Structure 1
Amino acid sequence: MSEEINVNGVPEIHEGDVVKATVESVEDNRVIVSIPNAKYDGIIPISELSSLHVEKASDVVSVGDQFDVIVTKIEEPAEDAVDNTGNYVLSKRQIDAQIAWKQLEQQFADGTIIEAEVKDVVKGGLVVNLGVRGFVPASLVEDHFVESFEDYKGTMITFKIVEMDQEKNRLILSHRAVVQEEKELQKSEVIKTIQAGDIIEGTVQRIATFGAFVDLGGVDGLVHISQIAHEHVENVSSVLKEGQKVNVKVLSVDPSEERISLSIKDTLAGPWENIEEKAPKGAILKGTVRRLVTFGAFVEILPGIEGLVHISQISHKHINTPHEVLQEGQEIEAKVLEVNEDEKRIALSIKALVEEEDSGENVTDYELPEQENGFSFGDLLGDKLKDFKSDSK
């Protein structure tokens, strides 16, 4: 189609035409531009310079800038005008938007990561200019809570498009999606380097009733409550705090499930180490009755250390079960009769601390019985076996 020419030999310009403009002057609320071979100059109102709010036209363009604009209106000169001069009313914003939407559609389809400057911080999120106004809701800025977004203004941040509707001029972006994608990639790489048996320094990330999640540098592992300490732990938060640095041993790694099991306990010295110094033979120690069984009572005398008070060592009087004298949770004193660090066994006596006239018993040379699953047949029979031997002589 041939170009329409007016009587003066100048190409006719119509509303909707796209033309090249050169900035001739910049005023507070508008820009004056020249158009090659046009009979009038053009005017771009400040509202048509950008998809974002503009305070001053000079914030957006400068004299000498060249760009495409669309003709939105033609203001012909009045019949009685002396200079017979009219104007073309132009829009840079509409052209930028047309180009931008086409590019954004492709980026949305490809899942492209876009980098852009945060132009403004508004109630509810961030605003960026991608040729059209893009909005980042507060919930999509980071993967954690942010109290104030003021520091984001003017910074370059990466985004992914999560929603777009050209007809409604709606463009929703997410920085959180980029952060989460990067973390997933980092997590996969870190998991490949971790093996069972490794000792790693980590940071307590989150505390739960059943344990603690420890950040190993991009991937979290779980320390079950039973693996926090050698002693029994009732409340995880009483032992660990978020942000605390800890050494952990990797118990197992499941790459397919991205699951890592950890232990703090296995990096700590065992409670039985040097037990003969902490609980020497003959020492009198305070303890707590933890379990009562038919053949005696298990008493915790140190964190993670339980000793056995055999039923024959509970009282000078004959008792049928430990429950007749003791109860779980009871605080008692006991004398250490024997210690075996290798077999992790301690024999205790309560009655050794209670005087009985002419008892004739000697508890200082007590020997740990040979055991199977912790205790021998002799442990179970106790004094009854001694009485049987005496009667048979």
Structure 2
Amino acid sequence: GTVFAMEPKGAMIDIGAKTAAFMPLQEVSINRVEALSDVLQPGEVREFFIMSEENEDGQLSLSIRRIEYQRAWERVRQLQKEDATIYSEVFATNRGGALVRVEGLRGFIPGSHISTRKPKEDLVADFLPLKFLEVDEERNRLVLSHRRALVERKMNRLEVGEVVLGTVRGIKPYGAFIDIGGVSGLLHISEISHEHIETPHTVLNVNDQMKVMIIDLDAERGRISLSTKALEPEPGDMLTDPQKVFDKAEEMAARYKQMLLEQAEENEPMGVTLD
């Protein structure tokens, strides 16, 4: 269709029918616009989506927003398939989390997936790296994770068997959450020591600084598993002399890496030569 008249409430479009079609102002874009002239110009030829059948005057209603909406969902589905990291600006926050726009669509970041020490209200106008959690056009649900994007970025610089310095941020009956450079890893109770432990509280305190070794990286689920058990020179040292464990951490980690290497070599299939 060709734009031939601009009006306060919309635009008249020549689509080759007996009666000109009409596009309301709210249908001009998926994004909020102040005036038609921000998007359209008289004489411009472009695609329009037919929203409804002819009214009693024989006039069709058109939309550009519907086309942009369909293409936006196609784009975010593709980005999710590629497991892409995107950057988007927070335009509002609420009790549950933060709101952003992705390709013009409204997206939601749950509070549990926001990884920052800033008060949530102070995030407005911040650009955050994000990963997709849910893309559901039928239910109009676009859910994203800031935490997962940060964990993946951090994971790209980490490796299994590496010793890192961390701070205890939380203690649960099943283990402790350790902050390692802005992302959280789990030190499970079974990975604290070779000796049996009733509760992590008997060994660890919130805000303790400690050395831990990375034993697993799960980028897809955004999880980092940690161990001090693997760093114990003698079973039970985390209970009796944790400083000794931290002093010898790099030495014990080197042994752990060597063990992993030997296991990998043992599991490598043998080559067969045929004469």
TM-score, with length taken from structure 1: 0.40
- Counterpart Cα distance in 1 of 2:194 and 2:37: 63
Which residue of structure 1 lines up, in the alignment, with residue 69 of structure 2?
97
Give the gaps of 5 or more residues in structure 1.
1-18, 79-85, 195-199, 228-234, 270-393
Q: How many residues align?
A: 222
Give the gaps of 5 or more residues in structure 2.
218-223, 232-237, 248-275
Which residue of structure 2 lines up, in the alignment, with residue 46 of structure 1?
25
- Counterpart Cα distance in 2 of 1:99 and 1:89: 20
The answer to whether structure 1 residue 175 and structure 2 residue 146 are counterparts is yes
CA distance 1:39–1:160, shift in 2 (3 Å)? farther
CA distance 1:88–1:181, shift in 2 (3 Å)? same
153-162 vs 36-45, which moves further: 36-45
Q: 1:69 aligned to 44, 48, 73, which one?
A: 48
What aligned pairs does 1:152-163 form with structure 2 within 5 A after superposition? 152-163=123-134
Which residue of structure 2 lines up, in the alignment, with residue 135 of structure 1?
107
Displacement of 1:99 in angstroms is 1.5
Deviations 1:150-188 (A, max 9, x none): 3333333333333334344443333343334334444xx
Displacement of 1:48 in angstroms is 1.9
Displacement of 1:136 in angstroms is 1.5
Which residue of structure 1 lines up, in the alignment, with residue 34 of structure 2?
57
Query: What letter matches 2:35 in structure 1?
Result: S
Q: 2:122 aligned to 116, 135, 151, which one?
A: 151
For the residue of structure 1 that corresponds to 2:35, the secondary structure is helix
- Counterpart Cα distance in 2 of 1:131 and 1:225: 48
Q: 1:166 aligned to 121, 126, 137, which one?
A: 137
Q: 2:227 aligned to 244, 252, 260, which one?
A: 260
Deviations 1:79-98 (A, max 9, x none): xxxxxxx9653212111122
Structure showing greater Rg: 1
Displacement of 1:70 in angstroms is 1.8
Say which structure is richer in helix.
2
Which residue of structure 1 lines up, in the alignment, with residue 167 of structure 2?
203
- Counterpart Cα distance in 2 of 1:210 and 1:123: 28
Higher relative contact order (CA 8 A, sep 6+): 2
For the residue of structure 1 that corresponds to 2:23, the secondary structure is strand
Deviations 1:196-248 (A, max 9, x none): xxxx7542333467986654545566895999xxxxxxx9879975335x465
CA distance 1:220–1:161, shift in 2 (3 Å)? closer
Percent identity, please.
22
CA contact (8 A) 1:21 1:68 kept: no
- Counterpart Cα distance in 2 of 1:89 and 1:243: 62
- Counterpart Cα distance in 1 of 2:131 and 2:204: 37
96-105 vs 128-137, which moves further: 128-137
CA distance 1:156–1:71, shift in 2 (3 Å)? same
Which residue of structure 1 lines up, in the alignment, with residue 235 of structure 2?
none
Which residue of structure 1 lines up, in the alignment, with residue 207 of structure 2?
243
For the residue of structure 1 that corresponds to 2:84, the secondary structure is coil
Displacement of 1:146 in angstroms is 8.0
Which residue of structure 2 lines up, in the alignment, with residue 110 of structure 1?
82
For the residue of structure 2 that corresponds to 1:118, the secondary structure is strand
Displacement of 1:102 in angstroms is 2.5
CA distance 1:92–1:138, shift in 2 (3 Å)? same
Which residue of structure 1 lines up, in the alignment, with residue 234 of structure 2?
none
CA RMSD of aligned residues (A): 5.1
CA contact (8 A) 2:28 2:36 kept: no
CA distance 1:61–1:126, shift in 2 (3 Å)? farther
What aligned pairs does 1:177-326 form with structure 2 within 5 A after superposition? 177-186=148-157, 189-194=158-163, 201-207=165-171, 214-217=178-181, 242-244=206-208, 246=209, 248=211, 254=215, 258-261=225-228, 264-266=242-244
CA distance 1:111–1:216, shift in 2 (3 Å)? closer
- Counterpart Cα distance in 1 of 2:140 and 2:246: 60
TM-score, with length taken from structure 2: 0.53
- Counterpart Cα distance in 1 of 2:175 and 2:77: 46
- Counterpart Cα distance in 2 of 1:253 and 1:118: 33
